Amino acid sequence: MLYDSSPVAIAIFASFVLGVIGLSFWLGRKGQSAKGYYAAHGEIHWFVNGIAFAGDYLSAASFLGICGMIAFYGYDGFLYSIGFLAGWIVALFVIAEPIKALGKFTFADALDARFNSRGIKFAVAISTLIVSIFYLIPQMVGAGHLIVPLLGLPHAVGVILVGVAVTLIVVTAGMVSTTWVQFIKGSLLVFFCGILTIMILNRGLLLNAGRQGEEDLRPQVQTRTSDGRVLVNGEPQTAENDLRPVGTIYKLPERYGDARETGPLRPLEYLSTLEDSQIVTWSAKKHTDNKGMHTTFTPTIRDGKDLLKPGGYFKGLSSGTLTDRLNFASLMLALFCGTASLPHILIRYYTVKDAAAARKSTVVGIAAIGGFYVLTLYLGLGAMTSGYLDPTSSNMAAPLLAKSFSETLFAAISAIAFTTVLGTVSGLIMAGSGAVAHDLIENCFGVTMNDHEKVRAGKISAVFLGVVAMALGILFKNFNVSFLVGWAFHIAASANLPALVMLLFWPRTTKQGITAAVSVGMVSSLGWILLSADTFEKVYGLPRGDSPIPFSQPGLVTIPLGFLVLVFVSLLTPPQEPRQVVDA
Amino acid sequence: MGNNHHLKDQIAVRSRTIGMRLFLIYVLLYLGFMGIVLFRPDVLSWRPLGGVNLAIAYGMGLIFSAFVLALIYMVACRGRSPDA
């Protein structure tokens, strides 16, 4: 769809984003030593850190991706919310306190605390880099999608804007600044999504999204010609000849008689009313001929009760094929195990003063994140029935839902979504730059650096990662961001969790076992993803059937494989006396 | 000094024990949900909570139970830690 940009929306957006960046610079102006740059001096208050956890974690995948998936496919997007939150239970009960006691600046510090092994440092640094890059891709894709309707600029410009802003934040003040960006963004996101949910409940459900007359149920066709033009229903795409926005209520429950709207609804009442309604969704089918690639969007009337149970996105849950069930179980396992293995989440434990603060900040994080995920269900369903959805982009559902209320709210929500990306990307770039400068250059390759040089190495690494992130964000433009972030969870859970858990709970773990588990977990999960049917179809443009992998999500195989490799290699290598643990 | 270290170790072991028990409770709840989604998806259409189906009620329940277990853990560990 084509979008008009409004000067008011641009002004609100610019002041929001500049305000957040300015505040973070001001608050983060003290972090110039290595400990300040990488770990915010270990002085962040546990409550601020807890909300910053939410800021770090509630990425574009949570906000744009889940809302879009619920709006397009119904309940299945909420399964991501459930899985993303469940991961925090592993973080709180298993990982939080021990990792605070083990590490100093990075995740590799923690895994290597007992051994001082170059092999561990190298393997963990590479795994941190790969996970961070895979997590960066969906954030950058999301940033690009936000810019298109708001500023009327191309997707690539949005990606470059966020890349430059984040690199500036990280290079200027490191972890202190990053923490404050995440704190501000986490607070704003939960608060404004709460407001938006209240507005959704207050509006209730409207027939045909409040428009007069019957819903237009004719199919629409978008064509991308071989010479790069875009046609809508056979004519050039213009403001007058554009795709119709979609997603409305077709029929309200019997009890509403001839009424065209329900009026305000209570939270549970909203869900039960939607379940008894009929909703116009649509299917998208692509075919290519000598004129170009055609996508046909066909409206379909569906019962609410079918949209509010699993099976809309994960088709196998309703068809019941074994590989589809394995695919789903594998994804849910990776979401459960992945959170506590994400390097940018783990490094946040070094910014508080002790294990008790680590525990308390995790509880605050769970409260904020859990509250937000409850809201995602309402945001997604509100978008599904708002009559404002762009059928070509699931990632735009949340901002367009805000637009269904007002341009101002649209600008505010888009700005918050943009700062969401800023917060998460800055955390990821911090984790990645720490892996390159602290783990690889200093600890693994043995380059001696003074405090100033350590910070400079981190900043140069941050710039490099920022450029890589921008390039990948442009390349992966057409993917749902929740789907993309799932890959990062698989790699993190497969490479990092077995080593972390066994180090904490199995005294017989050896340095060779850890190095092997991280390496095998990382290579196997990455290889599985690159050879999967999803990647064949969506990245390489090849038939799904050509993939040699039985199902696309690797975690069900590669997470246990990491544990097995660690146990096997540890038992084959001599037990090692632990060295004195570095005091955090 | 030695006594303080011993006390800290004891506290860490106790916290870990409490944490593992709460963790197991949540794992059972999560596995129960996964089991229903994978093997008895028809049950998810049942509407036990004010007209809301089991798929949503269980999902919301998992989110709330994570928060409740986290609170129990925080309260249980408070006063056990010298730096709490």
pLDDT digits (tens, 9 = 90+) for A486-521: 888 999 999 999 998 998 889 899 999 999 999 999
Q: Where are the alpha helices (DSSP H) in A204-265?
A: none
Residue B15 domain-assigned (yes or no): yes
Can you give the pLDDT at residue A205?
Answer: 93
- How many domains does chain B contain in total? 1
Query: Is residue B82 a part of any domain in this protein?
Result: no
Question: Is it the case that residue A293 has pLDDT exceeding 60?
Answer: yes
In chain A, the percentage of residues whose pLDDT exceeds 90 is: 29
Look at residue A584 in the predicted model and tell me its pLDDT. 35
Contact yes or no for B74 and A363 at CB 8 A: yes
**B52-67 pLDDT per residue, tens:** 999 999 999 999 999 9
**Are A363 and B60 within 8 A, CB to CB?**
no
Using the beta-carbon criterion (under 8 Å), do A94 and B19 form an inter-chain contact? Answer: yes
The CATH number, out of the four listed (1.10.10.60, 3.30.110.40, 1.20.1730.10, 1.10.240.10), of the domain defined by the range A7-12+37-204+317-572: 1.20.1730.10
Any idea which residue has 């001696």 for tokens? A448
Residue written as tokens 């009620």?
A: B57
Q: How many CB atoms lie within 10 A of CB B48?
A: 10
Three-state secondary-structure class, residue B44:
helix
Confidence at residue A36, expressed as pLDDT on a 0 to 100 scale? 64
- Of A70-84, A144-158, A366-380, where does mean pLDDT reach its minimum? A144-158
pLDDT greater than 70 at residue A44: yes
By the CB < 8 Å criterion, does A235 face chain B? no
Tell me which chain A residue has its CA closest to the CA of residue B26. Answer: A89
What's the complex ipTM? 0.89
Q: Does A326 touch chain B (CB under 8 A)?
A: no
Q: B24: how many CB neighbours lie within 10 A of its CB?
A: 11
Q: Which residue has the higher pLDDT, B42 or A28?
A: B42
Chain A CB within 8 Å of residue B15 CB: yes
Number of other residues whose CB lies within 10 A of the CB of residue A279: 23
Q: For position A521, what pLDDT does the model report?
A: 95
Give A32's pLDDT tier (boundaries 50, 70, 90): low
Average pLDDT over residues A469-473: 86
Helices (H) and strands (E) in chain B, counts: 2, 0
Contacts of A398 (CB under 8 A, 6+ apart): A63, A64, A67, A68, A379, A383, A413, A417
Q: Is A81 on the interface with B (CB under 8 A)?
A: yes
What are the tokens at A319? 């068809």
Distances (CA, A) of B61 to A104, A342, B29, B44, B57: 36, 25, 9, 14, 6
Average pLDDT, chain A: 84
Give the containing element (helix H, strand E) for A295. strand A292-303
Residue for token digits 């996964």?
A: B34
Low-confidence winner among A339-343, A447-451, A555-559, B47-51 (lowest mean pLDDT): A447-451
- Answer whether B37 touches A (CB < 8 Å): yes
Check if B46 contacts A (Cβ < 8 Å): no
The mean pLDDT value for A113-129 works out to 85
Angle between helices A407-434 and A451-475 (to 10 degrees): 130
Q: Give the Cα separation of A298 and A222 in Å (integer).
A: 11
Question: Which ranges in A212-353 belong to alpha helices (H)?
Answer: 267-275, 304-307, 316-319, 322-338, 343-346
Q: Model confidence at B82, in pLDDT bands (50, 70, 90)? A: very low
Contact predicate A513/A569, CB 8 Å:
yes
Q: H/E/C letters for each residue in B6-23?
A: HHHHHHHHHHHHHHHHHH
Do residue A88 and residue B38 have CB atoms under 8 angstroms apart? no
The answer to whether residue A5 scores a pLDDT higher than 70 is no
> Angle formed by the axes of helices B54-77 and B2-39, to 10°?
170
Interface touch A93/B50, C-beta < 8 Å:
no
Query: Torsion over CA of A353, A360, B77 and A580, rounded to 10 degrees?
Result: -30
Mean pLDDT of A28-50: 69
For chain A, positions 331-360, list CB contacts with chain B under 8 A: 332, 336, 353-357, 359-360
| pLDDT exceeds 80 at position A363 | yes
Provide the Cα torsion B12, B14, B18, B23; round to 10°: 40
Please write the tens of the pLDDT for every residue from A168-204: 777 766 677 777 777 888 888 899 999 999 999 999 9
At A90-101, the pLDDT tens digits run: 888 888 888 877
**Cβ neighbours, 10 Å, residue A88:** 26
Q: Do B70 and A363 touch (CB under 8 A)?
A: yes
In angstroms, the separation between the Cα of residue A360 and the nearest Cα of chain B is 7
Cβ separation B52–A94 shorter than 8 A? no
Question: Per-residue pLDDT for A78 more than 90?
Answer: yes
- Banded pLDDT at A118 (limits 50, 70, 90): confident
Tokens for A200, please give them: 């959704």
Average pLDDT over residues A556-571: 96
Scanning every residue of chain B, which has its alpha carbon at the shortest distance from the alpha carbon of A274? Answer: B52
**What residues of B are in contact with residue A93 (Cβ under 8 Å)?**
19-20, 22-23, 26, 73
Residue A9's CB is within 10 A of a number of other CB atoms, namely: 24
Domain ranges of chain A: 7-12+37-204+317-572, 208-316
Is A311 an interface residue toward B (CB < 8 Å)?
yes
Residue B2 Cα, gap to closest chain A Cα (Å): 16
pLDDT digits (tens, 9 = 90+) for A442-468: 777 777 777 778 778 878 888 888 888
pLDDT at A399 over 80: yes
Report if residue B56 sits inside a domain: yes
Please indicate, yes or no, if residue B29 is contained in any of the structural domains: yes
pLDDT category, B83, cuts 50, 70, 90? very low
pLDDT of residue A513: 94
Cross-chain Cβ contact A89/B74 below 8 Å: no
Q: Which of B23, B52, B53 sits opposite A89 (nearest CB)?
A: B23
By the 8 A CB rule, do A252 and A331 touch? no
Domain that holds residue B67: 2-77
Beta-carbon contacts of A448 under 8 Å, excluding residues fewer than 6 positions away, are: A442
For the segment A306-310, the average pLDDT, to the nearest whole number, is 92
Q: pLDDT category, A582, cuts 50, 70, 90?
A: very low
Token pair recorded at residue A247: 């997603």
Suggest the residue from A262, A306, A309 to mutate for an interface test with chain B (most B CBs closer than 10 A): A309
Q: Is residue B61 part of a domain?
A: yes
Which residue in chain A is spatially nearest to B59 when comparing CA positions?
A82
Instruction: Say if B24 falls within a structural domain.
Output: yes
Residue A164 predicted with pLDDT over 70: yes
Distance from CA of B39 to the nearest CA of A (A): 8
Q: Is A232 helix (H, G, I), strand (E, B) or coil?
A: strand
Count of CB atoms situated within 10 Å of the CB of A252: 22
Place of tokens 């506290």: B11
**Residue numbers in A near B15 (CB within 8 A):** 97, 359
Instruction: Quickly tell me which residue has 């080593």 as its tokens.
Output: A499
